[in-house]
Amino acid sequence: MKADAITEMGVIMRPGMKIRRPKNIKKTSDEEIKTPAEEKVVENIAPINVTTKIYVKSLEISAQCGVYSHEFGKDRSLFIDIEIDMVSGNMVSVDELNQTYDYDKLAQIAQDVASQKHFYLIESYAGEVAQAILNDARINAVRVKVEKPNSVKNAAAAGTEIYCTRNVTP
Q: How far apart are CA 136 and CA 168, in angstroms?
A: 14
Q: Do residues 89 and 96 make contact, with C-beta atoms less than 8 angstroms apart?
A: no
pLDDT in tens, the chain (170 residues): 456 555 555 556 666 666 666 666 555 555 555 555 554 555 566 666 778 899 999 999 999 998 888 888 889 999 999 999 998 766 566 677 777 889 999 999 999 999 999 999 999 999 999 999 999 998 999 999 999 998 899 999 999 999 999 876 55
Question: Where along the chain do the CATH 3.30.1130.10 domains lie?
Answer: 51-165
Phi-psi group of 16: left, alpha or beta (phi > 0 → left; psi -120 to 50 → alpha; rest → beta): left
* CATH 3.40.50.300 correct for 51-165: no
